[in-house]
A and B are shown apart, each in its own frame.
Chain A
Amino acid sequence: MTDSKYFTTTKKGEIFELKAELNSDKKEKKKEAVKKVIASMTVGKDVSALFPDVVNCMQTDNLELKKLVYLYLMNYAKSQPDMAIMAVNTFVKDCEDPNPLIRALAVRTMGCIRVDKITEYLCEPLRKCLKDEDPYVRKTAAVCVAKLHDINAQLVEDQGFLDTLKDLISDSNPMVVANAVAALSEIAESHPNSNLLDLNPQTINKLLTALNECTEWGQIFILDCLANYTPRDDRESQSICERVTPRLSHANSAVVLSAVKVLMKFMEMLPKDLDYYGTLLKKLAPPLVTLLSAEPELQYVALRNINLIVQKRPEILKHEMKVFFVKYNDPIYVKLEKLDIMIRLASQANIAQVLAELKEYATEVDVDFVRKAVRAIGRCAIKVEQSAERCVSTLLDLIQTKVNYVVQEAIVVIKDIFRKYPNKYESVIATLCENLDSLDEPEARAAMIWIVGEYAERIDNADELLESFLEGFHDESTQVQLQLLTAIVKLFLKKPTETQELVQQVLSLATQDSDNPDLRDRGYIYWRLLSTDPVAAKEVVLAEKPLISEETDLIEPTLLDELICHIGTLASVYHKPPSAFVEGSRGVQHKRLPARAGSGESAESPEVGQSGTSEAPPAVIPSQGDLLGDLLNLDLAPATTTVPSVQPSMQMGAMDLLGGGLDSLMGDESDTLGGDIGGSPSMGAALGAPAAMPAALSNAPAVGGGLGDLFDLGGGVGMPTGFYVAPKTLFLPAMKAKGLEISGTFARRGGIIQMDLSLTNKAMSVMTDFAIQFNRNSFGLAPAGPLQVLTPLTPNQTIDVSLPLGTTGPVMKMEPLNNLQVAVKNNIDVFYFSCQYPLSLLFVEDGKMERQVFLATWKDIPNDNEAQFQIKDVHLNSDAASNKLQGSNIFTIAKRTVDAQDMLYQSIKLTNGIWVLAEMRVQTGNPNYTLSIKCRAPEVSQFVYQCYELVLKN
C-alpha cells in the first residue's frame, strides 16, 4: 500500500511510457499505469493525450480499475467529446449489471460527463434506474436528474424526468426521498416561477415523515426545502414547528441550524400571545448555545447566524451573555464575532460583567481585536446610560497605557460619548489633549479636532492646538481637513477676538489652495456666512446636534428578513443576499418571511402616538346645516383691502441651487462628525428655520430640503423638479352658484401651502365681498389669510388668486381622508363645494429621516401596517424618480442596488408629525414600480401612494 510512488514520476517521456504500460497485457501493470495517470491528473498535469488508451481499460471486471477510469473520463471527456463516445457502450451495459453498486456507479458517472452525445444515451438507462428495484440505484438516479438538468434542461423536461422525480418524493426509502427533494429544490431554483416543488400539506407531511428516518444529510435537504414552504395558517405553522423541534437535539450542527431556520421563519406566523410561541422561544436558546461548543469553523458559522437571530429576536438569547465571553485560545475570527454579539446583548442587567470582560480584552495581543474591544466599551457607554461613567473611566485607564492604537480608538469613541451625554464628561478633555501628538490615524485626528472645536470655550489653548494641526493642512486627509475647517470656524464664533487671523488662514487654505471641491465649497459657505451674518452663522454652525442612536451596524430590516430565510447558508455568513455573490440567476430569488396570521394582530398593533388622523373622532360627515352654522358664526369680513401684498411667486431655479448646495454641504459635514457611529445628525434641521438664514438666502431653506442630499445620492442626475401642481379642475360649476364658477388646484411652494383659485363671473352682475371658509378636516387645513379679491369681479371676468393655507385649524377625520369642504361667500350668497387635495400638500420640507432612525422606525412599525402598491408605466430610472419625488418632499434616504433592482428607501413627514416610510423597488427596464409603505397611521398609505402616482407620472 504505497500509492505515493505514483506521485514521483516526473521524468521526461513519461506520457510515452504510460501509453505503453496502459496497453500492456498484464492487468496489474495496466492498473498501475492508470493510477499514475490519475496521480498526474491530480497535480495538474495534462494527461488528456492518453484518452484512447485509458478508455480501452474500461472494459474490465476489476471494479477498482473501472472506478479509476471513470474518474479520468469525468475529467477529460469534455475536452475529447468524440473519443468519449467510445465509452458509451460500456456505460449502457453497466447500467444493466446485476450488481446494484455497478448500476449506480454507471449512472452516477454518466451524469458527470458533460458531452451532448453521451447525454442522449443517458436518457434510457436513467429512466430505468429511476424505477430500479434497489433503493441505492434510485437515490443515485434522483441526483442524476439534477446533473442532466444542469447540462440540458430542455431534455429533462421533454423526457418527463421531472414527474418521475416528483413521484420519488413518495418513495418508501427515506434516502431516495431526501435526494429527490435535493434534486427538485435545485432544479426549482433555476425555474423560479415553475410550480415544480409543489409543496402542499400532503407533500409536507411526507417530508416530515421522511425527516425522522433519513441520514443527517438528508435531514438537511428536507429542512432546507421545508423552509421554502409557506403554511396556510398559524395552526399548520405550529404543527410543522412541533414536528421540527426534535431536530434541535441532533448532533449535526447543520441539521440544528436548518431546523432553527424553519422555526424562525414559521414563528413569524404564530400569534405572540400563544403559549406555544413562548415555548418555542425558550426551546431555541439551548441548541444555539450548544453550537458554540462545536469546532471553531462551525462556531464561526453559528456566530454569524446568531448575530442575525439576535437582531431579529433579541429575547431568545438575552440571558446567555456569558457563553459569548471570549476564550483566550479562540481563533481570531471567533473572537471578533463573539465581541459583536456581546455588544448587541449588553444591557443594564449584565453591563458590569461585560465591561469587566471588555477591559480584559483591551489588553490582548491582536490589534484588530483590541480595537474592537475598545470601541465596544464606547458602545456600552452609549447604550446603557448607567454604565457611562464606568466606561469613561475604563477608557481613561486605557489611554494611560499609551499604546498608540488603543489611545486612538479610545478617542474616537469618547467623541461619541460626548455627543450622547453633552456636558457631563468634558472634564476628561485635558487628558485627551495630552495625547494629541501620538495620533496618526485620520479618524482619531478628526475626532480629536472635533472635540477641540466643540469645546473650544473650555480649552484655554484651543487656538494653539488647532493652529498646530494647520501647519500640515495639505498633508491631512480630507476627513481631517473638513473637520479642522469646521472646528476653527466654531472656535472663531466662540472667541472671535483672538482667532480672526486663524480663521482667515484656514478659509484661504480651504478655498484658494485646495483642489478638493467639497472642502472648497464648505470654505466658501462659511466665508459667506461669516461675512454676511455672523449671528446666523452661529446658529448654523453651533446648532444643537441631534442625539446619536444607540444601536449601530443594524442590518436593514428587509435584508435582515431575507437573511433569516437563509440561515445556515453562505448568505448568512456573508450577511449579504445571495445575489451579491452568486453568478447567474440560480438561487438568488429574494426570500421573504411569511406574514403574521390575522389572529395575533390586535394584540400587536401599537397605539398610534402623535398622529392626529387616527385619534380624531370617528368620521361624521356634517350635514349642510351644521356647515352652514359654522360658516355663519365666523366673521366673514369683506376682505377687499386689508392685506396688501400677494404671495410672491417664486423663482425656484437659482434659489434651489443655493439651498440645495448648502444643505448637502451641511449634511456632509455632519456625516463626518457622526463618523462611523453612523448617526448622521442633519445640520439641515438648523436650516429648516428660515430665521436662521442670512437675508440673501432667506427663501432657500424652504426649498432647500428639496435638494436635500443630492450629493448623497451620488446620482447627480440633475435638478429635481419642484412640487407638482396639478392643472386646475372645476370645483364649483356656475350653474350651482348663481353664476360664480370656481376652479382651482393646490400647491406647496417653499413650505407654504397654497390653494390657487380661478374665480369667473358668469352672471350678469358684478360680484364683490368674497370670503372663504373651510369645514373642519383631517389635517386641520384652514385659510391663513383672507381671500384676496381686490377688485370687484365684473361679468365675464376671471381672477386668479392664491390663498395661503395653514394647518392649525380644527381637525376632524374626513371621508375620504383628503376631502375638503369649502364655503365661498360673495355679495350674492354662500356657496358650498367639496374638493380633494393631494396629500403631498402636507409633506414638509424637513421630512428627511436619519438612516439609523429610519432603520429603527421601520423595524418598530408592525408589519401589519405595511401596504404594498404597484405604480405602473413609469419610464424613469431610479435617480430621476427620486429627484422628482424630492420636489414633493419625498426624500430618498438610501439606495441599494440588488441585481438590477434598485431599492429606494424614502421618508415623508406630514404637517401633523406623522412619519411615512416607504420602500420603492425599481427594476431596470420594468416600467412598474413596487411601493411598500409603512406608517403608524396606515390610513394615509393609500393617499401617499396616490401622490407617488401623481408625481411620477407628471
Chain B
Amino acid sequence: MIGGLFIYNHKGEVLISRVYRDDIGRNAVDAFRVNVIHARQQVRSPVTNIARTSFFHVKRSNIWLAAVTKQNVNAAMVFEFLYKMCDVMTAYFGKISEENIKNNFVLIYELLDEILDFGYPQNSETGALKTFITQQGIKGQHQTKEEQSQITSQVTGQIGWRREGIKYRRNELFLDVLESVNLLMSPQGQVLSAHVSGRVVMKSYLSGMPECKFGMNDKIVIDKQGKGGTTDDAGKSGKQSIAIDDCTFHQCVRLSKFDSERSISFIPPDGEYELMRYRTTKDIILPFRVIPLVREVGRTKLEVKVVIKSNFKPSLLAQKIEVRIPTPLNTSGVQVICMKGKAKYKASENAIVWKIKRMAGMKESQISAEIELLPTNDKKKWARPPISMNFEVPFAPSGLKVRYLKVFESKLNYSDHDVIKWVRYIGRSGIYETRC
C-alpha cells in the first residue's frame, strides 16, 4: 500500500510530508526531488522506480504530489487517490497552490490522517469529511452523542455521501449535460476519429433521503420499450435514441441494477456532483467543419486559407469560437484577413488565433493569411501541427436527451411534482483538430 505522501513546490521543497509505512525513510523525499523534479531530462513516466522504491506523481499547476511505496500496490488506485486528494483539497481551500497549501498545512495533515490509514484509502467524500473536519478547527468537543454517531455512521455507511436530516424549503434540482466533442479530421475532410465524452452533472437541493430515477434516450432502453408498443412507435423513437458505447457512474448509483435492468437509480449526494460519464461514437453532430488550405510559395512564404462552416440549426448560436492555426517556428511576419471576428498572430504561441464571439448555425466564414518565413538551414520539414478549434454550443452533439428524473421521498410529504427541475445542454470542443 501507499507508504508515504509528499507534496513539493516547483523548486522541490517539501510542503507536506506524511509517512505511513516504516519502509519509507526520509531519504525517499530527497530521491524524488533529485531524480524527478530536478531531473535533467524531463521525466517520461508518471511512475518512477528509484532504488526499489516506486514514486507515483501528478502535477497540479506547479505543485507536485507524490505517493511513494515499496510494495506491489494497485497503481490505478494510487492515481485515483491522488486525484481524489486534489479534489478534496480544492473543495476545502480552492486552487492548489503553494500559498494555499502552506496556509492550510494543519488541515491537510488532518485530512491525510483521515482519508489514508496505513496507506489504505478511506472514505474521501468531501460531503462526509466536512461534517467533522473543518477549517475552523475540529468540531467534536461540542457535539452531542447523537451527532457523533451520525457522523461515524455516515462516514462508514452504505450511503456515505449523504447525511440524514437535510431540509430545504424549496426542493430543486439542476441537471447539466456537458459534452465535449472530439474530432480528428484529415485535410481532405475525412473523419479519422470522433467521439463525444459527456458528463451529467447534478446539483440537488432536495430534502430527506430522496430516491431518484434518471432516464435518457438510451437506445437499449428505448428499443426494449419499443418492443412492447407498436412497431411504428419504435421506429419513431429509434431515430431519437442514441447508442452509448460505455458509461460510468458516481458511486451513489446502484450498478447491479443498471447491469440487469439498465435503469439508473440512486440517492443523490447533497449539492453538486457528477452523476455519470458516458462516451458515444455513432451519429455525432459535428458542430463545425474546418477546411484548411496551405500552400508553400517558395521557401520563404506560406499561404494559408481556412474556412469554417457551422453545422446546426440556424436558430441556435455557437459562442466563444476560437480557431488556432499553427505557424512554422521561423515565421517572420504574418498578414491576416478575416471576414468575421478578430484574428491575431501570436508569435509566442507560434499560431494565428482567430476569435469569433458568436456564430449562428448553417453559416460559413473564412480567414486567409500570408506567412513570411526566414530562410533556414534546417533540413527537417515543418511538422505542420493540426489546426485546432474551441467553441461552445447550446445542444448535446451526441444527441443525448434527458427523458425524466423522478424523485421519490416516502417519508417527507413532497412528491415528484413539487420538485423544480432544470435541464441544460452544453456542448464544448474537446480536442477538435483538423490536419492540414
Contacts and interface: CB of A to CB of B under 8 A. Distances in A.
Interface in A296-351: 296-298, 300-302, 322-323, 325, 327-329, 332-333, 336
Given A249-B248, A293-B279, A322-B193, A136 B52 contact: no
A403 to B, nearest CB: 5
B417 interface: no
Contacts, number: 292
Nearest to A572: B75
A246 B255 contact: yes
Interface string B14-55: 111101111100100100000000000000111101001010
A569 B15 contact: no
Nearest to B6: A42
A42 B138 contact: no
Contacts of B251: 215-216, 250-252
Nearest to B121: A217
A434 interface: no
Given A100-B152, A186-B1, A297-B56, A3 B70 contact: no
Given A289-B279, A327-B184, A3 B156 contact: no
Interface stretch (A574-582, A594-602, A773-781): A574-582
Contacts of A323: 193, 195
Contact of B246 (A71, A212, A246, A287): A287
A245 B259 contact: yes
Contact of B14 (A43, A175, A402): A43
A587 B102 contact: no
Interface in A62-82: 62-64, 67-68, 70-71, 75
A143 B75 contact: no
B48 to A, nearest CB: 11
Interface residues on A, range: 35 or more
A190 to B, nearest CB: 11
Interface stretch (B289-297, B309-317, B375-383): B375-383
Nearest to B58: A297
A174 B158 contact: yes
Nearest to B259: A246
B113 interface: yes
A301 B75 CA distance: 7
A844 B54 CA distance: 47
B74 interface: yes
Nearest to B93: A1
Contact of B109 (A71, A137, A250): A71
B74 A220 contact: yes
A298 B79 contact: yes
Given A3-B106, A108-B117, A139 B156 contact: yes
B410 interface: no
A655 B1 CA distance: 58
A111 B119 CA distance: 13
A401 interface: yes
Nearest to B380: A403
A915 interface: no
Contacts of B56: 297
B138 A63 contact: yes
B330 to A, nearest CB: 15
B15 A42 contact: yes
Interface stretch (A253-261, A504-512, A521-529, A734-742): A253-261
SS class, residues of chain B in contact with chain A: mixed
Interface in A533-588: 566, 568-574, 578, 581-583, 586-588
B63 to A, nearest CB: 14
A570 B248 contact: no
B102 A251 contact: no
A44 interface: yes
Contact of B52 (A63, A217, A583): A583
B145 interface: yes
A328 B47 contact: no
B274 A42 contact: no
B384 A570 contact: no
Interface in B106-165: 106, 109-110, 113, 117-118, 120-125, 132, 135, 137-138, 140-141, 143, 145, 148-149, 151-153, 155-158, 160
A40 to B, nearest CB: 11
Given A246-B259, A290-B246, A327-B184, A253 B193 contact: no
B365 interface: no
Nearest to A402: B379
B118 A147 contact: yes
A35 B137 CA distance: 13
Given A99-B140, A136-B152, A570-B54, A325 B192 contact: yes
A114 B106 CA distance: 23
A622 to B, nearest CB: 59
Contact of A246 (B99, B125, B140, B258): B258
B256 A246 contact: yes
Contacts of A919: none
A570 B75 contact: yes
Interface string B63-80: 000000111111111011
Contact of A101 (B71, B79, B152, B383): B152
Of A108, A215, A365, the most chain B CB neighbours within 10 A belong to A215
B104 to A, nearest CB: 6
Contacts of A300: 45-47
B250 interface: yes
B433 interface: yes
B255 A212 contact: yes
B117 A101 contact: no
Nearest to A109: B113
Interface string A139-177: 110011011001000000000000000000000011110
Given A42-B15, A102-B140, A301-B76, A68 B106 contact: yes
B287 to A, nearest CB: 19
A289 B245 contact: yes
B221 interface: no
Contact of B156 (A135, A150, A253, A332): A135
B110 A67 contact: yes
A2 interface: yes
B83 interface: yes
B123 A140 contact: no
A725 to B, nearest CB: 48
Nearest to B112: A71
A574 B49 contact: yes
A202 interface: no
A582 B250 CA distance: 34
Contacts of B153: 135-136
B271 interface: no
A569 B73 contact: yes
B52 A581 contact: yes
Which 3 residue pairs of A and B lie closest in terms of their CB atoms, listed nearest first?
Answer: A4-B102, A286-B246, A136-B152
Interface of B: 1, 13-17, 19-23, 26, 29, 44-47, 49, 52, 54, 56-58, 69-77, 79-83, 99, 102-106, 109-110, 113, 117-118, 120-125, 132, 135, 137-138, 140-141, 143, 145, 148-149, 151-153, 155-158, 160, 184, 186, 192-193, 195, 197, 245-251, 254-256, 258-259, 274, 276-277, 279, 379-381, 383-386, 431, 433, 435
Given A1-B135, A296-B46, 20 more contacts: A2-B103, A4-B102, A4-B103, A63-B140, A98-B145, A140-B117, A143-B117, A143-B120, A173-B157, A174-B158, A212-B256, A215-B123, A217-B81, A254-B76, A254-B80, A289-B279, A290-B246, A290-B248, A403-B379, A574-B49
14 contacts: A4-B99, A63-B141, A64-B106, A64-B110, A64-B138, A173-B156, A179-B120, A216-B80, A217-B124, A253-B80, A298-B79, A300-B45, A365-B383, A586-B71
